[in-house]
Structure 1
Amino acid sequence: MGAVKTKRMPRAVREQQMLDAAVETFGRRGYMAASMDEIAELAGVSKPLVYLYLNSKEDLFTACIRREAKSLVEAVRTGVRTDLPADRQLWDGLRAFFAHTGRHPHAWSLLHLQARTHGEPFAGEVAAMREEIVAFVTQLIAIAAREAHRDPDLPEREVAGLAEALVGAAESLAAWANTDDTVSSHQAAATLMNFAWAGLGNLMNDRPWSPPPA
């Protein structure tokens, strides 16, 4: 076991150091297999100090989810310039999403896999993050439809469904890209953009696909 560092530092800095270690450990080993001893050693602190700052393993895991969810949402929001055309906004949002999940694979594993498979309250924390991203994408699609038609006629339910589908595809593609070192964040974004925009572009230009008669 490595030596425990004793250098004093501000509480907020020390807490972030613990969260960094916890995110890496949870993302790499999973919630059940990760130990507080391992997290403390990686953070360079004693296990009692981890408990003093973050109370329990469950509270530590929840703090990690909240921090990483906030970071991902902020990355997507700040990556989009709303003064650009609709296709550019979507492209920039996808690039921001895949760049962030690619740079932080342990955090994405924690959000996409670990938190969802261990029940409440963890799944609820991730669901709240996802709802925020879906709402943001819904807004982008609604604005694009309004601009394309001048008088929006896409049903609200259809816009919401498109946003759900797009976010779901992005989540799955990020999980795939993070397991393949040959796939860059740019390539992942381009793959989904090519898949999605052909349909969205036609929809925005009032050329929707219609199912054949029953």
Structure 2
Amino acid sequence: MPRAVREQQMLDAAVRTFGQRGYRAASMDEIAELAGVSKPLVYLYLNSKEQLFSACIRREAAALVAAVRGAAGGTSVPPVPADRQLWDGLTAFFTHTAERPDGWAVLHSQARTQGEPFAAEVAAMREEIVSFVTTLIAEAARSAHGDPSLPEREVAGLAQALVGAAESLAGWANVEDSVSAKEAAATLMNFAWAGLGGLMEGRRWVPSPVPAPLPVPSSSL
């Protein structure tokens, strides 16, 4: 079997084991057994448990980013509106995380809790997605006003909030088997894009006034 094919076979087994058992509990013995190879062969190809886990993170992160960018590329002519690009990207995100729950567990649950360098690799993937969403929000503001009316810092904050909400919603959707990727994407669009639409039209949330306290009646003697 070609080395590249054998390596992917090992990574498939490792992602499944790390995703279901956790990084600490997973053993090279069970990964080798699941892959149908000897443990020395796993070490020959991927050197150590740490390097195997890093390879899993890089592969799953690249696959997720490619799925989102591929769905929401916005390269068609005429160009696709920013909200449609975001909708397509979110749908691809939720579809991908549902189809590869072990890979999502590696990225979202395992890598972030195991310290460096694993957390840094996931952070790099997340920043790439945040940067992409930031661009979409800025483009939507330009479409609405003819210029980027939202401050750059505010756009970046909105993108961070949107990506964080998508990550949390993916975990919920994977537990709730009845929730489809399109339903999860629609939930987030209804929650987030409606609010963004108000911002782009100049309507901002302000705190409701606090009612004045009722006068305390004086006690009669």
The TM-score range, normalised by the shorter chain, is: over 0.9
CA distance in 2 between counterparts of 1:38 and 1:28 reads: 12
- The residue number in structure 1 matching 2:33 is 41
Q: Which moved more, 1:16-25 or 1:174-183?
A: 174-183
Going from structure 1 to structure 2, the CA distance change for 1:10 and 1:70 (only over 3 Å counts) comes to same
CA root-mean-square deviation? 1.2
Deviations 1:56-81 (A, max 9, x none): 00000000000000000010001114
SS at match of 2:202: coil
Counterpart of 1:190, as a letter, is A
Which one of 194, 197, 204 corresponds to residue 198 of structure 1?
A: 194
C-alpha contact 2:97 2:103 (8 A) present in aligned 1 = yes
- Distance (whole Å) between structure 2 residues aligned to residue 181 and residue 128 of structure 1: 29
Identical residues among aligned pairs (%): 77
Question: Matches of residues 69-148 of structure 1 in structure 2 within 5 Å?
Answer: 69-82=61-74, 83-148=79-144
Find the residue that maps to 2:175 and give its secondary structure. Answer: coil
Q: Which runs of 5+ in 2 are unaligned?
A: 211-221
Q: CA deviation at 1:86?
A: 2.0
Aligned residues: 206
Instruction: Note if 1:12 corresponds to 2:4.
Output: yes
CA distance in 1, matches of 2:44, 2:20: 24
What amino acid is the match of 2:184?
A
Is structure 2 residue 198 aligned with structure 1 residue 210? no
Q: Matched residues in 1 for 2:198 and 2:85: separation?
A: 17
The alpha carbon displacement at 1:211 in A equals 3.6
Whether 1:166 and 2:162 are equivalent positions in the alignment is yes
Question: 1:87-139 deviations in whole A, cap 9, x for unaligned?
Answer: 21111111011000010000000000000011011000000000000000000
SS at match of 1:108: helix
TM-score, length-scaled by structure 2: 0.90
Are the equivalent residues in 2 in contact too, given 1:102–1:178 (CA < 8 A)? yes
Q: Report the more deviating stretch, 139-148 or 160-169.
A: 139-148
Aligned to 1:5: none
Query: Larger radius of gyration, structure 1 or 2?
Result: 2
> TM-score, normalising length from structure 1?
0.93
